[in-house]
Amino acid sequence: MTNTVHVIIIVINRFIASGEEMNNSYYLTAFIDEQGQRRPFSLKIEGPFATSKNRDFYCRVKSLELLGQDFNVYGESGSETKELALKFVEICLKDKKVYDAKGNTLILERWQ
């Protein structure tokens, strides 16, 4: 029998170059069960970053094992963009089992 571990999605706050806005980085390394096979899994969410014209924002979602390439998720505000990036990851992981090295199921949770 395995336990469930709730992973709270909030991490290191750091200032971007302008010093006016803060962004977050979230990084998770774990394992994913795909077709009965256990394989390493990593996820990194960076941002939000202002676009070049400063009209909207984007977060970069990196997980080669899950997505095959990096994706940018866009929104009108920094907080909306972070929320959309987390929803995007939740949808991608909807039918997948993610767990730690001990076999504990990981459930990603948002914390404001």
The residue behind tokens 């899994």 is 41
The pTM for the full model equals 0.72
pLDDT score, position 112: 45
Higher pLDDT, residue 15 or 84: 84
Number of domains in the chain: 1
41: Cβ contacts below 8 Å, ≥ 6 apart: 28, 29, 30, 31, 32, 63, 65, 66, 98
Q: Which domain holds residue 57?
A: 4-103
Max CA-CA distance within the chain? Answer: 52
> Is there a domain that residue 109 lies in?
no
> Is there a domain that residue 20 lies in?
yes
Of 44, 57, 53, 76, which Cα lies nearest the Cα of 16?
Answer: 57
> Is there a domain that residue 32 lies in?
yes
88 pLDDT more than 80: yes
Instruction: Name the token pair of 62.
Output: 């990196």
Q: Do the Cβ atoms of 34 and 19 come closer than 8 Å?
A: no
Question: What 3-state DSSP class applies to 67?
Answer: helix
pLDDT score, position 71: 92
> Is there a domain that residue 53 lies in?
yes
